[in-house]
């Protein structure tokens, strides 16, 4: 089991929460981005710097992630690719992407982008503060606990060593 973070647009507070959880649980956290991300360090943290280019970090996450892993991203097209591969996906505000909701979220995203391209609508996310971090942390802890229980029941399971 691993935690992947689409780090290009991930808020600092979310990255820090993932780093703390990885250190506490011993689960490897892989941060993928097209540029170096500050403060990604520790025995359980890996910075996967991807080549420049659109979607290179997304493609790397799709290449590496497997069912039983958890991916943190606000990129809905990436989330859609991962959900299709049976990988659990959470955004930085604690919303879970599932087979039941991903098409609707993708349609809404495309609609909003279409409005923005025509000069109407705003595509930026609102402020990210303590309330948003709390929602993320609560969902993240629930999903991580669920995945850890599933992993512990799998044949040949070896618990991660915490540093």
- Cα separation, 32 vs 85, whole angstroms: 18
CA distances for 32 relative to 4, 28, 68, angstroms: 7, 13, 18
Residue predicted with more confidence, 138 or 157: 138
**CB-CB contact of 14 with 73 (8 Å):** no
* Residue showing tokens 């299709």: 84
Question: Rounded mean pLDDT of the chain?
Answer: 87
Q: Within a 10 A sphere around the Cβ of 133, how many other Cβ atoms?
A: 19
Q: Which pLDDT value is given to residue 158?
A: 72
Does residue 105 or residue 163 have the better pLDDT?
105
Domains of the chain (ranges; CATH) run 2-99+129-153 (3.40.50)
How would DSSP label each residue in the chain? -EEEEETTS--HHHHHHHHHHHHHH--EEEEEESS--TT--STTEEEEEPPSSTTHHHHHHHHH--BTBEEE---HHHHHHHHHTT-EEE-TTSPEE-TTTHHHHHHHHHHHHHHHHTT-S--S-----HHHHHHHHHHHHHHHHHHHHHHHHSTT--PPPP-
Query: In this predicted model, what pLDDT tens digit does every residue of 27-58 receive, in sequence order?
Result: 999 999 999 898 898 899 999 999 988 899 99
Higher pLDDT, 119 or 36: 36
Q: Mean pLDDT throughout 6-17?
A: 93
Distance CA 123, CA 110 (A): 10
Percent of the chain with pLDDT over 70: 87
How many whole angstroms separate alpha carbon 148 and alpha carbon 45?
Answer: 18
Name, in order, each residue with C-beta under 8 angstroms of 112's C-beta and a sequence gap of 6 or more: 121, 123
Please report the pLDDT score of residue 120 as a whole number: 63
The whole-model pTM stands at 0.84
């Amino acid at each position: 089991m691993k935690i992947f973070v689409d780090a290009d647009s991930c808020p600092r507070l979310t990255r820090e929460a993932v780093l703390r959880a990885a250190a506490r649980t011993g689960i490897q956290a892989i941060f993928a981005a097209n540029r170096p991300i500050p403060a990604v360090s520790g025995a359980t943290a890996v910075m996967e710097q991807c080549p420049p280019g659109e979607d290179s970090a997304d493609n790397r996450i799709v290449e590496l992630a497997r069912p039983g892993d958890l991916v943190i991203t606000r990129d809905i097209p990436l989330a859609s690719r991962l959900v299709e591969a049976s990988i659990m996906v959470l955004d930085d505000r604690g919303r879970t992407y599932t087979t039941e909701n991903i098409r609707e979220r993708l349609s809404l995203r495309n609609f909003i982008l279409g409005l923005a391209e025509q000069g109407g609508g705003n595509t930026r996310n609102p402020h990210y503060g303590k309330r948003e971090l709390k929602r993320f942390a609560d969902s993240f802890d629930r999903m991580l606990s669920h995945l850890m229980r599933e992993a512990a029941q799998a044949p040949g399971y070896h618990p991660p060593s915490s540093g």
